[in-house]
């Protein structure tokens, strides 16, 4: 049965349906509806909603609860997401699953508090200091907001990494009729295969990090954001530091094929390729459809996983189609375009940005103009 | 003050010997605090896997690594929100947070206020050495006015922050101050804080001979410990006054409340 | 088939509820809907804009491009609506603000006494938004008062429900435009 849902509410429902047990957050437009919904829903599912004093406290409380065995997330928008950056690095280093929903608004600073922006892409991927693993998903409609909230929670737990869902104000606040799919459940923690005295919290098994043990089960391990050995105790030994960071970075690389999702639309014989994400992905789809109806050979790629980036997949499409140009519409000054150019380094296909930040969606005419005459 | 610390097996069970020697300077007060903390764990008969020790960054931040429990070394200033998440998820755990003055009431000051306001069942032990030790002796929020440090070469112009008064004002339901010169009393206070159901603050005046001592003309830790003995008095309130001395004692031990993680469980039942 | 409706007014005038009900009514008829809202920072009194896009096909652009119907309760909101108004757009304003309509729009505007009817016939100026909603239904002609009533039943009960349905019916059956 299809129902009308606001994007933020779909996100909250997705989290509860997946098995979320803990949410901590700080009110901020346009994500506050997620907090409001979870403050009502979580206690009914033996979960916990906590409003913290700021976004740093929020994500750290989520990390604490996650450590204690409660699948956790927080939600925010650009200004709060900026405050969370150090903690995202901590979650990556300490390898504690946590999911961050960022409903993007136009920045910088307070920007346009109630209106759309898509300028948090770089900050989602590279916002914290130091190289680190992070997963970034980006939905383009209410249904996808539901799906990718659950995928973020799932993969965060599975790989012990921070996962970000980059929605935007239009997706967060828009009401659409949606059919919700079967939920994806967050994997449960289990007692490790080894005895407590042999347990190494940061050892690799088949290249992946060992699972987290439940709290109170006799496993007395140490967790730190400092560089550490397999036992979790701080170290500055170069070989151990290298082994740790190599393994951390390899997490997203190793699971690239499972993690990377994108939608390909009308690619056959396309002479112009459009690449776009979040709300602008769906807007671009409309433009491509309209132009195809008029006989224009144009196709669309919409990444749903922003990190790891679908560089090899994009490259393969471009090598096959050899398009005349690539058009990248986005509500920022070219953050996705930089990733596209990086993916296509060494080729001669021109990449044209369609960029506008004024609080609204980019009008289809601007995209059409770039496709036809850009 | 002639009490002797009885011999105890607590360190055997509660200290991770494989990570010794610790990183702290000779004469540092942190060893005294840590010893008294694990003594109380032992006396209370707690299991190692019922205890969660959460620290931030700084000299005190390193304490968690030495405790044989479930230990977490978080980022600077964020031990209390992390501990809050843990306690909310697992009210059955004894959650203890060791904080320094910079970590606890400098960078983490707002979390400190709000943990107190929430009355979440965490024991916060704030080891106040009145200086940033790990980064090389910079002024901290509790550095006394006029004191020189590596960043107040002309003397600190700012008034210093009173951690016990802050905790008192923020509504912590247990507030006490003790010092390292009387470890037995310190242990007693820590034990009462650990047994307290709500948010408990123990401010521990502790010596940093390497930096604070050097800058204040007391490079010998014995002198600093003596200074604590001579410049403190037993009091009932952090607002009590006696000459220029610092009040020490249990300032509040309120039992009339519902701790937050338990209150939340009650909400589930409704 | 795609319809676009743009509703503007001051916060508290029920602009958001109108959009939500309209979207839900179309969804009950099996249309795809996308409803969005833009608020000012003010919680009361600032401008509120509700955009409803409904379509029998997939909706790609979820906001109003050229509206089929614009409803305005506040004259301040009209200049901002100008880019959404095309040659065929029906612009309905509350009669009480008719004189404050910008010059370039005067020729297009239909003034309807939403608030007066609500006040005088229904003794509740609050339901002026429901009267206007009825006028939108009439202008578009796709959904009936039944769908709106089902959407209203999710929110109101008893006398309040009856009053709202009555107000919608009043707008729908008005013959003024």
CATH number, domain with residue A155 = 3.40.50.970
Q: Is the pLDDT of residue B6 over 70?
A: no
Q: What is the DSSP string of C65-134?
A: SS-SEEEES-GGGHHHHGGG--TT-EEEEEGGGGGGS-GGGTTTEEEE-HHHHHHHHHS-GGGHHHHHHH
Q: Do A176 and C65 touch (CB under 8 A)?
A: no
**Using omega within 30 degrees of 0 as the cis cutoff, is the peptide bond preceding A108 cis?**
yes
Instruction: Give the pLDDT confidence of A95-109 residue by residue, as tens digits.
Output: 999 999 999 999 999
> Which residues, other chains included, contact C90 with Cβ-Cβ below 8 Å and sequence gap of 6+?
C68, C69, C70, C110, C139, C177
Q: What are the strands, taking DSSP E only, across chain A?
A: 3-6, 22-25, 48-51, 72-76, 98-106, 112-116, 135-137, 162-168, 175-178, 204-205, 208-209, 222-224, 262-265, 272-275, 298-303, 305-307, 325-330, 351-355
User: How high is the pLDDT of residue C176?
Assistant: 60
- Please state, in angstroms and rounded to a whole number, the distance separating the CA atoms of residues A291 and A293: 5
- From chain C, pick out residues whose CB is under 8 angstroms from the CB of A173: 36-37
Q: Count of CB contacts below 8 A, A vs B?
A: 129
For residue B256, pLDDT beyond 90: yes
Average pLDDT, chain A: 96
Q: How far apart are CA B266 and CA B263, in angstroms?
A: 5
Contact A105, A116 (CB under 8 A): yes
Nearest to A69 among B54, B81, B89 (CB): B89
Boundary of a domain, candidates A222, A257, A292: A257
Q: For position A140, what pLDDT does the model report?
A: 97
In-domain check, residue A189 = no
Average pLDDT on B174-191 reads: 98
Q: What is the pLDDT of residue B3?
A: 65
Give the span between the Cα atoms of A53 and A50, in whole angstroms: 10
Domain annotation covers residue A36: yes
- Scan residues 59-118 of A and list those with Cβ closer than 8 Å to B: 60-70, 72, 86-87, 90
Q: Provide the residue range defining the domain that includes A276.
A: 261-373
| Partner-chain contact A175 C63, CB within 8 Å | no
- Nearest by CB to B78, which of A21, A87, A224? A87
Number of domains in chain B: 1
Q: What is the mean pLDDT of residues C70-92?
A: 90
pLDDT in tens, C4-19: 999 999 888 899 999 9
Is residue B188 within 8 Å of B196, Cβ to Cβ?
A: no
Q: How far apart are CA B194 and CA B43, in angstroms?
A: 11
Q: Report DSSP state, residue B156.
A: -
Q: What is the pLDDT of residue C174?
A: 83
Task: Report the residue from A22, A70, A90 with minimal CB separation from B74.
Answer: A90
Which residues in chain B are closer than 8 Å to A64, comparing Cβ atoms? 54, 72, 81-86, 89
- Pair (A29, A173) in one structural domain: yes
Check pLDDT > 80 for residue A179. Answer: yes
User: Is the CB of A170 inside 8 Å of chain C's CB atoms?
Assistant: yes
Q: Note whether B84 contacts A50, CB cutoff 8 Å.
A: yes
The pair of structure tokens assigned to A301 is 């790629």
A-C contacts at Cβ under 8 angstroms = 55
Domain range for residue B82?
Answer: 26-269
> Does residue B8 fall inside a structural domain?
no
Q: What is the per-residue pLDDT across A36-74, written as a single tens digit (0 to 9) for each?
A: 999 999 999 999 999 999 999 999 999 999 999 999 999
Give me the residue spans of the domains in chain C.
2-113+135-153
Looking at the structure, tell me whether residues A236 and A280 fall in a common domain: no
My answer on whether A158 and A119 are in the same domain is: yes
pLDDT tens, residue by residue, C106-152 = 888 999 999 999 999 999 989 999 999 999 999 999 999 999 999 99
Whether residue A284 lies inside any domain: the answer is yes
Question: Most A CBs within 10 Å: which of C19, C22, C38, as the mutation test of the A interface?
Answer: C38
Angle between helices B109-118 and B163-170 (to 10 degrees): 40
Task: Assess whether A43 and A132 both reside in one domain.
Answer: yes
Pairwise CB contact (< 8 Å): A220 & B65:
no
Q: Which two tokens stand for residue C143?
A: 């959904």
Structural domain includes residue B21: no
Residue A217, pLDDT score: 93
Q: What is the mean pLDDT of residues B126-149?
A: 97
Mean pLDDT in residue range A122-142: 98
Average pLDDT along chain B: 96
Kindly state whether residue A356 falls inside one of the protein's structural domains: yes
Q: What is the pLDDT of residue A211?
A: 85
Cβ–Cβ contact C40 with A under 8 A: yes
pLDDT value at residue B242: 97
pLDDT in the model for residue B5: 58
- Residues of chain A with Cβ-Cβ distance to B268 below 8 Å are 43, 46
Rounded to the nearest angstrom, the minimum Cα separation between C138 and chain A is 23
Which position has the token pair 């200049």?
A: C79
Q: Which of B19, B74, B89 sits opposite A22 (nearest CB)?
A: B89
Which of A170, A177, A361 is opposite residue C27, by nearest beta carbon? A177
pLDDT of residue C107: 80
Residues counted in chain A: 374
Residues A204 and A111 in one domain: no
Please list every residue in chain B whose beta carbon sits closer than 8 Å to the beta carbon of residue A58. 81
Q: Mutate which of A105, A142, A177, A292 to test chain C, going by most C C-beta atoms within 10 A? A: A177
A183 domain residue, yes or no? no
Which pLDDT does position A334 carry in this prediction?
98
- For residue B192, the domain's CATH number is 3.40.50.970
- The SS3 call for residue A347 is coil
- Nearest partner of B188 among B249, B116, B254, judged by Cα: B249
Residues of chain C neighbouring A279 (CB-CB closer than 8 A)? 62
Q: Which of C13, C57, C8 is nearest to C32 (CA)?
A: C57
Q: How many domains does the structure of chain A reveal?
A: 3
- Residue B258: its pLDDT value, please? 92
- With touching defined as 3 or more inter-chain CB pairs under 8 Å, the answer for chains A and B is yes
Closest-CA residue in chain B for A62?
Answer: B85
Whether B20 maps to a domain, the answer reads: no
Q: Mean pLDDT throughout A278-291? A: 98
Q: A227 and A359, same structural domain? A: no
B177 within some domain: yes
How many CB atoms sit inside 10 A of residue B83's CB? 32
Give the pLDDT band of residue A165 (cuts 50, 70, 90): very high
Identify all chain A residues contacting C32, using CB atoms and an 8 Å cutoff. Answer: 176-177
A114 contacts on C by Cβ (under 8 Å)? 38-41
Whether residue A171 lies inside any domain: the answer is yes
What's residue B62's pLDDT? 96
| Residue B122, strand partner residues | B95
Of A50, A53, A215, the CB nearest to B90: A215
Q: Are residues A21 and A128 in the same domain?
A: yes
Range of weakest confidence among A240-249, A276-285, B256-265, C71-80: C71-80
> In Å, how far is C162's CA from the nearest CA of chain A?
24
B-chain CB neighbours of A90 within 8 Å are: 74-75, 78
The answer to whether C62 contacts chain A (CB < 8 Å) is yes
Instruction: State whether B86 and A64 contact (CB < 8 Å).
Output: yes
* Among the partner residues A4, A286, A364, nearest to C23 by beta-carbon distance: A4
- Chain B contact set for A217 (CB, 8 A): 49
Question: 3-class DSSP state for residue A226?
Answer: coil
- Show the CA angle centred on residue A311, arms to residues A307 and A314, nearest 5°: 125
For the domain with range C2-113+135-153, which CATH number is right: 3.40.50.1970, 3.40.50.150, 3.30.70.100, 3.40.920.10? 3.40.920.10
- The span from the CA of A234 to the CA of C82, in Å, is 63
Nearest chain A residue to C32 by CA: give it: A177
Picking from A54, A64, A219, the nearest residue to B85 by CB comes out as: A64
Instruction: State how far residue A35 is from chain C, nearest Cα, in angstroms.
Output: 18
- The residue whose two tokens read 């009431």 is B105
Q: How confident is the model at residue B8, as a pLDDT?
A: 83
Residue A296 is predicted with a pLDDT of 98
Chains that touch A (3 or more CB pairs under 8 A): B, C
B2 has a pLDDT exceeding 80? no
Among the candidates A118, A148, A178, a domain finishes at: A178
Do A200 and A80 lie in one domain? The reply is no
Q: In chain A, what percentage of residues exceed pLDDT 70? A: 99
Contact B69/A at CB under 8 A:
yes
Answer yes or no: do A174 and A217 share one domain.
Answer: no
Among the candidates A228, A257, A286, a domain finishes at: A257
Report the neighbours of B using a cutoff of 3 or more CB pairs below 8 angstroms: A
Considering CB atoms only, which of C39, C60, C62 is closest to A114?
C39
Percent of chain B with pLDDT over 70: 97
Nearest CA-CA distance, residue C126 and chain A, Å: 24
Residue B159 sits at the chain A interface (C-beta within 8 Å)? no
pLDDT of residue A110: 96
Q: Which of A23, A50, A58, A64 to mutate: most B Cβ within 10 Å?
A: A64
Picking from B49, B73, B111, the nearest residue to A220 by CB comes out as B49
- CA B90 to chain A, closest CA, distance in angstroms equals 7
Which residues from chain A sit within 8 angstroms of residue C63, using beta carbons? 170, 360-361
pLDDT in tens, A312-329: 999 999 999 999 999 999
Asked if residue A30 has a cis previous peptide bond (ω within 30° of 0), the answer is yes
Q: Are B78 and A56 an interchain contact pair (Cβ–Cβ within 8 Å)? A: yes
Write down the pLDDT at residue A206.
79
Asked, for residue A32, whether it belongs to a domain, the answer is: yes
With an 8 Å CB cutoff and a minimum of 3 pairs, decide whether chains B and C touch: no
Which of C48, C60, C155 should we substitute to test contact with A (largest number of A Cβ atoms within 10 Å)? Answer: C60
What angle do the packed helices B79-89 and A55-67 form, to 10 degrees?
50
Residue B162 pLDDT grade (very low, low, confident, very high; cuts 50, 70, 90): very high
């Amino acid at each position: 049965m299809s129902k009308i849902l606001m994007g933020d509410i779909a996100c909250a429902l997705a989290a509860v349906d997946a098995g979320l047990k803990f949410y901590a957050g700080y009110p901020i437009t346009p994500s506050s509806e997620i907090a409001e919904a979870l403050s009502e829903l979580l206690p009914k599912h033996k979960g916990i909603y906590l409003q913290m004093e700021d976004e740093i406290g929020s994500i750290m409380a989520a990390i604490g609860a996650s450590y204690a065995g409660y699948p956790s997330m927080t939600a925010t928008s650009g200004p709060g997401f900026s405050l969370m950056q150090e903690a995202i690095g901590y979650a990556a280093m300490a390898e504690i699953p946590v999911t961050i929903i960022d409903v993007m608004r136009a920045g910088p600073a307070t920007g346009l508090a109630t209106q759309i922006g898509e300028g948090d892409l770089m900050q989602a991927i590279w916002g914290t200091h130091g190289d680190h693993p992070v997963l970034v998903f980006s939905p383009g409609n209410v249904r996808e907001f539901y799906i990718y909230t659950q995928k973020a929670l799932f993969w965060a737990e599975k790989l012990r990494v921070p996962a970000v869902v980059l929605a935007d104000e239009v997706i967060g606040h828009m009401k659409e009729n949606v059919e919700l799919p079967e939920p994806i459940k967050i994997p449960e923690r289990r007692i490790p295969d080894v005895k407590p005295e042999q347990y190494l919290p940061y050892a690799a098994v088949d290249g992946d990090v060992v699972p987290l043990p439940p709290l109170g089960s006799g496993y007395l391990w140490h967790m730190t954001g400092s560089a550490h050995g397999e036992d979790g105790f701080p170290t500055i030994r170069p070989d151990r530091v290298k082994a740790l960071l190599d393994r951390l970075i390899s997490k997203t690389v190793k699971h690239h094929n499972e993690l990377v999702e994108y939608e390909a639309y009308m690619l056959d014989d396309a002479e112009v390729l459009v690449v776009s994400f979040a709300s602008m992905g769906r807007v671009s789809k409309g433009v491509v459809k309209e132009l195809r109806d008029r006989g224009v050979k144009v196709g669309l790629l919409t990444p749903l996983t922003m990190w790891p980036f679908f560089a090899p997949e994009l490259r393969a499409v471009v090598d096959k189609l050899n398009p005349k140009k690539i058009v990248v519409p986005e509500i920022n000054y070219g953050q996705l375009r930089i990733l596209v150019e990086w993916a296509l380094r060494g080729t001669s296909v021109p990449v044209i940005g369609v960029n506008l930040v004024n609080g609204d969606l980019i009008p289809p005419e601007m995209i059409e103009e770039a496709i036809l005459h850009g | 003050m002639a009490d002797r610390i009885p011999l105890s097996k607590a360190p055997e069970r509660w200290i991770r010997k494989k990570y010794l020697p610790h990183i702290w300077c000779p004469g540092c007060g942190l060893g005294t605090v840590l010893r008294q903390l694990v003594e109380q764990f032992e006396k209370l008969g707690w299991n190692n896997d019922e205890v969660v020790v959460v620290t931030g960054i700084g000299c005190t931040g390193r304490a968690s690594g030495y405790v044989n429990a479930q230990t977490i070394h978080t980022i600077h200033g964020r031990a209390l929100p992390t501990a809050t998440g843990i306690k909310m998820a697992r009210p059955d755990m004894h959650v203890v947070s060791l904080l320094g003055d910079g970590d606890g009431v400098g960078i983490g000051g707002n979390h400190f206020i709000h943990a107190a306001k929430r009355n979440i069942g965490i024991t916060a032990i704030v080891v106040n050495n009145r200086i940033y030790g790990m980064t090389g002796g910079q002024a901290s929020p509790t550095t006394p006015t006029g004191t020189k440090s590596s960043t107040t070469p002309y003397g600190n112009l700012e008034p210093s922050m009173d951690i016990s008064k802050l905790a008192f004002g923020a509504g912590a339901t247990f507030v006490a101050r003790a010092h390292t010169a009387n470890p037995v009393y310190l242990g007693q206070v820590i034990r009462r804080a650990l047994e307290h159901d709500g948010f408990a603050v123990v401010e521990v005046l502790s010596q940093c001979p390497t930096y604070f001592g050097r800058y204040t003309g007391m490079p010998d830790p014995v002198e600093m410990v003596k200074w604590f003995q001579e410049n403190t008095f037993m009091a009932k309130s952090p607002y009590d006054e006696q000459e220029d001395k610092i009040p020490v004692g249990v300032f509040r031990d309120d039992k009339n409340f519902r701790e937050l993680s338990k209150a939340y469980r009650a909400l589930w039942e409704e | 088939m795609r319809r676009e409706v743009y509703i503007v007014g001051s916060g508290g005038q029920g602009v958001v509820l109108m959009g939500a009900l309209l979207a839900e009514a179309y969804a009950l008829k099996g249309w795809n809907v996308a409803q969005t809202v833009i608020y000012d920072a003010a919680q009361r009194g600032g401008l509120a804009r509700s955009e409803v896009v409904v379509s029998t096909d997939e909706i790609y652009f979820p906001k109003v491009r050229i509206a089929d119907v614009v409803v305005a309760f506040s004259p301040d909101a009209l200049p901002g609506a100008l880019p959404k108004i095309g040659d065929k757009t029906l612009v309905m304003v509350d009669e009480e603000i008719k004189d404050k309509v910008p010059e370039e729009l005067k020729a297009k505007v239909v003034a309807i006494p939403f608030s007066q009817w609500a006040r005088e016939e229904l003794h509740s100026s609050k339901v002026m938004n429901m009267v206007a909603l009825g006028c939108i239904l009439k202008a578009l002609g796709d959904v009936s008062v039944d769908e709106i009533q089902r959407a209203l039943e999710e929110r109101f009960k008893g006398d309040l429900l009856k009053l709202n349905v009555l107000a919608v019916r009043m707008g729908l059956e008005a013959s003024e435009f």
